[in-house]
Structure 1
C-alpha cells in the first residue's frame, strides 16, 4: 500500500497588491516607504504624495502612521463621452454631421437673456445688449437655447444641431427673463446691421405690435431667416388659436414643441400660423452655471429649427432665406396631418439637407 506522507509544507499564498496614492503630512517620508513591502511607481513632490503598489495587508498600517495624511485608491477614470440629446437625434442632425456638415459660415443671433460667455461647450463670437454693458447671461434661458443650436462637437458635454455656426448673443431679456417689444426690435436691427443670417427668438408676447411686425418684415426682406417660438399657451386638447407674437407674423417661422414620443407637448400653442414642429420637452442643453440641464417649452423647440436652418444654408449657401424656409417645410415629417396642431410636421435635418444639396 502506498502511503502519502505530508511534507509539512503548504503552498504559499500570493501577496495581493493594491495600487494606492499615499499622501504625507510633511514631505515624502522615505523611511515610511522603505519600511513597507511596496514599490513606488511615481512621486509627486508638489503635493507630497507617491503612487505605490502596496501589499493589501499593509494598507491599514500605512494609514495609521503619524506622518501619513491619507492612503487612497488610485481610482480608475474613463473618458466622459459627449451626449447627443434626444432632440438632436430626433431631428436627424447627426446624419448631416456624418457628411461633415456642421453649419459652418452661418451667423446666428440668439435674441434672449444673453449667453454665458465662458461656457466651455459654447463658442460665442460676439453680441450686444439692449440694456447696455455685457451680453453675458444672468438668467440661464439664453444659454440653454444657444446650446441646442451650437454646443460644440468636442467629445464632452452635449452637441448642438449646428455646432460650427458663428454664434452671437443678443441680450433683449433681463435677469428675470423679461423685456419689451422695443428691445426685441433693437435686437433685430442689430442683427440686420451685423450681417446675421438667422435670428432665433425663443420669446414672445400675447399682444400684437405693428412696429414689431414691421421689424420682422424688414429683417426678412433683408434676407435673414427669422425663427420664433410658437408659445406655451396651448392646452391638452390642442384647441384654439393661441400662437404668440412675433411667431404669429407671416414673415416669421413659428415653431411648436413635441415630446420624445412624437406627440405635441401639451403646452405647445396651436393655430393656423403654426409652421413647423421640433423637440421641446425635457431638452438637455448648456446652463448658465457652466453645466448642463433640461428645460421644456417651445423656447427649446425653436433653436432646433434655427440649427437645422443653419445646416441647410451651410450646405448650399446660394439659397435665399425663403428657399431655406421652403425646404424645411417641404422636407418635414408630417406624421399627423393636423396643421393647426402640428404645422407642416416634425423638422428633419437630413431630409432638408438632401433637398438643399440637390436644389
Structure 2
C-alpha cells in the first residue's frame, strides 16, 4: 500500500527551475501520439472521443471524453495498437486554466562524479534512450521515454530527481503560447479603455485589459448581445460579417430595421460599437468583436407594455446579454410590478433558463441610484432640501448597475453611485449637469467608438472620439459579460455577475467629489464601494475565471441517430417528421444536429428541430437555391438560434420536421443525428454582509435571508459565517432550507471563546446531510439567537456555496 501511495504521489508534481510544482489531471482530457498512418478520426470514432486540438510540433493530439470514462478509454487506447504514446493532460493546481501537455522527453543533469557507466545503467533501467547532449550544460542530456517504460515521463523524472547521482530532472511539458493579441483596426490604439500603457490623461489602471482576454476568446457568434437604444446604423462597417446581426427590432417604427431616423439618433450606434464592433482591420473594435448583435430601437417612451415587449423579444430570440444605456426623465422613478416582473423574467427565464445578463447604466447626475441628498443651488430652488433619488431600472435586484470611472482611474464626476452599483467601467469625465455647478476642471479622455454613418452623426468620420457617460460604461460591461459566456456558455446570469464582481480591479479615489464633497472611493468590509461597486471590470481576469469554472465542470455528451429514409412530400407544408428518443436525464448545454438529405433543390426546404418540451428552432429556411442535397451539421456557432435550446430538458423525443414548400423537386430524409452536451453541475454562490446586531438574551434572535436563483439538486453545501461575539457559548446558529428543513450549525458550544468565524460542510456538520438532494432554489434563512444575558455581538457576513 505504501508503494502504491508513493507511485501516486510521484505523478502529482514536477520540477521546474528548482521549484516543485503541484499538478492536477484535467478530468476529461488526454493526449496521444498516433502511429504513422492512423488518422485522428479513427481514434475519435473507435474510442468515442472528441478531437480538441493538434499539437503539431509535439506530434500530439488532444481528445475529450466524459470524465468518468477517461481512464478506461485511455487504457483501451493504449492496448489498441493505434498509438505510440498516451498521457493525461495536466494543469498546475493553482492555475487550472493553464493546460500542460506531457511529451516523451526528459532533461537530466547528472552530478560530476557520476560515471558514464552509472548514467547508462540508471537510464536504461528506466526505459530511457539518449536523444542529445544539452550544449553548454555539463553532464546534461535529453532522453526519450520509450514505449516499453513502465511509468510515464513525470514519474520517471521524479524518480531521477531523487537519485543521489542527479542534480536536475525535468519532464518536457508543452504549454500553449499567449500572443497578447492586438487587433489591426486602425483606431484601436486610441481605444484606451480596452488597453493602454499610459500617456497623457491616461492611467495604466484605467483600462479593462481586453487584449489579454482576447488571447483566450474574442467572442463567439452563438453569444448574442442585445443593445436596446435609440437606433443602430446597420450600414456601418463595424456591424457587417456573416451572422453578425441577429433578430433586429424597431419598436418605434414597428418593423425590423432599427435604423436611425431622427437627427439625433446617434447614441445607440456608439453603444453597439463599444460592445461588439466587428474586427475589420479599419476603425474601432468592440469588447467582444466575435459576438453577434441584436440591435433594438426603442420608442423613447417607457411604459409597462414597452418593457414587457423588450424583455419578451430578448427572451424569445435567445439574447445572452442585454445592454441598456438609458433611464427615465425623472429624479424618482420606481418600477411597476409589470416592469419588475419583465426584467426578472429576462434575467431568469432568458437564455434557455440560465438567464439573460441584464446590464443598465447607473446614470449621469452624480446622485445615488436610490437615496437621499440635501439639494442646494438649483434654479428657482427646485429641488431644495432633502430630496429622494431613485433610478428604478438600475436599482432592480436582477440588474447589473454600472457606474463610470475615468481614464485616470478616478470617479467620473457625473457618475451616479450607491450600494446598488455592481461594477464600474471606463468612460469619459466631465462635470455633472446637476447643481450646484462644478466650476473646477475635471480631467479625462473620451471613448472612441462607432458613429452613425455620414454627416448626421456625432462626427462626419463615422467614428466619434468623445463618447462617454455611464452610457459608455454599460456596453463595456455587457461586452465583458459576452466574453465570459463565450468562454463558458453554461454559466447562469447570476454566475456571470459573480465573476464580474469577484475579478474586478479595486481602483481607489481618495479625492472628494467636486460637487457634493462625498468621499466614497474606498471599499467596505464586503469589498464594495459606493462609487465603483466591486471595482472596475477586468476582462482578462473575468474570462480566466470563467474558463477555470468550465474546466472544473464535469460534462457528459449523449448521442442519438436515426436512418428513416423517409420520402419528403413535394410542395406539402405537412412535410415529414422523424423522432430520436433520448433516455438520459439532464439539461442541454449545447447541441449539434447533423442531417443527410437527398434533394434536387434545397431552396424548397425548411428544417425545424423540436425539443421534447415543444420549443422549435429553424435550422434551414429555404436557402441554398438550386443546390443539391443537405449534408451538414448545425451548431450554435453556425446557427446561433440553437443557443435558445440551452437549458432545455434532455429526456424525451426530439423531432426533425422537414417541409418541401415548392413544387417539382423531390427528396428523401436519409439520416440525422443529435450530439447533445449535458449541462454540467454548477456552483451557486450567494452571500451578504449585513453587519446586523444579534439581540441579547432573546430566543427569537436575528433572521437573515439569501435567495438562491436557480433550481437543481444539492450535491454539496458549504455555509460560511462571520459573527463577532464575546461569548459564543451563548449562541445557536440554524440554517433553514427553502423547503423548511432546519440544520443546527452551532448549538451553544465554545464556552467563553470570542467570535464564530468558520465554514460548515457536509463532511463536518452531520445536520447538513439532510439537505442533500433537496432543491437549491429559493429563500435560505440563517437564524442566530443569543440565549444568555450580558454579552453582545453581530452577524458580519454569511454565505452559501451550493454544488448541484
TM-score (norm 1): 0.73
**Are 1:142 and 2:268 counterparts?**
yes
The number of residues matched between the two structures is 276
Q: Which 4+ runs in 1 deviate beyond 4 A?
A: 238-243
In structure 1, the residue matched to 2:413 is 266
- Are 1:248 and 2:370 counterparts? no
Q: Deviations over 1:170-213 (max 9, x none)?
A: 1114xxxx321332331111101111111111111241122222
Q: Secondary structure at the match of 1:121?
A: helix
> Could you tell me how far 1:130 is from its partner in structure 2?
1.4
Q: Residue 470 of structure 2 corresponds to which residue in structure 1?
A: 298
* CA distance, structure 2, for counterparts of residue 104 and residue 98 of structure 1: 17
Q: What's the secondary structure of 1:136's corresponding residue?
A: coil
- Residue by residue, what CA displacement relative to the aligned partner does 1:111-154 show, whole Å, maximum 9, x if unpaired? 11121011011133331111213311330111000000011111
* Cross-structure match for 1:285: 449
SS at match of 1:278: strand
Aligned: 1:101 with 2:218: yes
2:364 to 209, 223, 232: 232
The 5-angstrom pairing of residues 330-349 of structure 1 reads 330-336=502-508, 337-338=522-523, 339-349=529-539
Describe the shift of the 1:328–1:149 C-alpha distance in structure 2 as closer, same or farther (beyond 3 A). same
CA distance in 2, matches of 1:234, 1:277: 14
Give the drift of 1:220.
1.1
Of 335-344 and 164-173, the range deviating more from structure 2: 335-344
Q: Distance in 2 between matches of 1:81 and 1:253?
A: 32
Deviations 1:328-349 (A, max 9, x none): 1000001233411111010000
Asked if residue 91 in structure 1 is aligned to residue 255 in structure 2, the reply is no
Separation of aligned partners in 2, 1:158 and 1:239: 40
Distance 1:283 1:193, change over 3 A: same
User: Does the CA contact (< 8 Å) of 2:226 and 2:314 recur in 1?
Assistant: yes
Q: Which moved more, 1:139-148 or 1:337-346?
A: 337-346
1:286-322 deviation line (CA, Å, top 9, x unaligned): 1112500021210110000000000011101121111
Give how far 1:100 is off. 4.1
Q: Which has the higher contact order (CA 8 A, sep 6+)?
A: 1
Question: Would the aligned equivalents of 1:327 and 1:355 in 2 still touch at CA under 8 Å?
Answer: yes
CA drift of 1:82 comes to 4.0
Pairwise CA distance, 1:81: 2.5
Using the TM superposition, name which of 184-193 and 261-270 deviates more.
Answer: 184-193
Q: Look up the match of 1:51.
A: none
Q: CA 1:235–1:212 in structure 2 vs 1: closer, same or farther (change >3 Å)?
A: closer
Contact 1:122–1:151 (CA<8 Å) still a contact in 2?
yes
Note the C-alpha offset of 1:262. 0.5
Offset from partner CA, 1:245-286 (integer Å, 9 cap, x none): 311111100000111001111110011111100012111111
Tell whether the 8 Å contact from 1:276 to 1:345 is kept in structure 2 after alignment.
yes
Q: Report what 2:250 is aligned to.
A: 129
Q: Distance in 1 between matches of 2:235 and 2:185?
A: 20
Q: Sort the Cα spacing of 1:239 and 1:344 in 2 relative to 1 into closer, same or farther, 3 A.
A: farther
Distance 1:114 1:184, change over 3 A: farther
Aligned pairs for 1:68-83 within 5 A: 81-83=186-188
In structure 1, the partner of 2:231 is 114
Once superposed, what is the RMSD of the aligned Cα atoms? 2.1
Higher helix share: 1
| Cα distance in 1 for residues equivalent to 2:491 and 2:420 | 24
Q: Report SS of the residue matched to 1:302.
A: helix
- Post-superposition CA distance 1:14-67 (Å, at most 9, x none): xxxxxxxxxxxxxxxxxxxxxxxxxxxxxxxxxxxxxxxxxxxxxxxxxxxxxx
Residues 247 and 294 in structure 2, CA contact (< 8 A), matched pair in contact too: yes
Cα contact 1:331–1:352 (8 A) shared by 2: yes
**Per the alignment, do residues 234 and 103 of structure 1 end up closer, same or farther by CA in structure 2, a change over 3 Å counting?**
farther
Residue 184 (structure 1) aligned to one of 292, 307, 323: 307
Q: Show structure 2 runs of 5+ residues with no match.
A: 1-183, 196-206, 350-354, 374-387, 429-445, 455-461, 509-521, 524-528, 550-804
Change (3 A) 1:311 1:231: same
Residue aligning to 2:291: 165
Separation (CA, whole Å) in 2 of partners of 1:244 and 1:283: 24
C-alpha deviation, 1:106, in angstroms: 0.5
Distance apart, 1:239 and its partner CA? 8.8
Given that 1:106 and 1:197 are in contact with CA atoms closer than 8 Å, whether structure 2 keeps it comes out as yes
- Structure 2 residue matching 1:247: 3-state secondary structure: helix
Residues 94 and 243 of structure 1, relative CA distance in 2, 3 Å threshold: farther
Q: Is the aligned partner of 1:354 residue 2:460?
A: no
Pick one of 279, 289, 292 that aligns with 1:153: 279
CA distance, structure 2, for counterparts of residue 80 and residue 108 of structure 1: 21
User: SS at 2:246's partner residue?
Assistant: strand
Gaps of 5+ in 1: 1-78
| Aligned counterpart, 2:339 | 212
Find the aligned partners of 2:288 and 2:346 in 1 and give their Cα distance.
22
The answer to whether the 8 A contact 2:218-2:289 is kept is: no
Counterparts of residues 58-69 of structure 1 (less than 5 Å):
none
Q: Which is strand-richer, 1 or 2?
A: 2
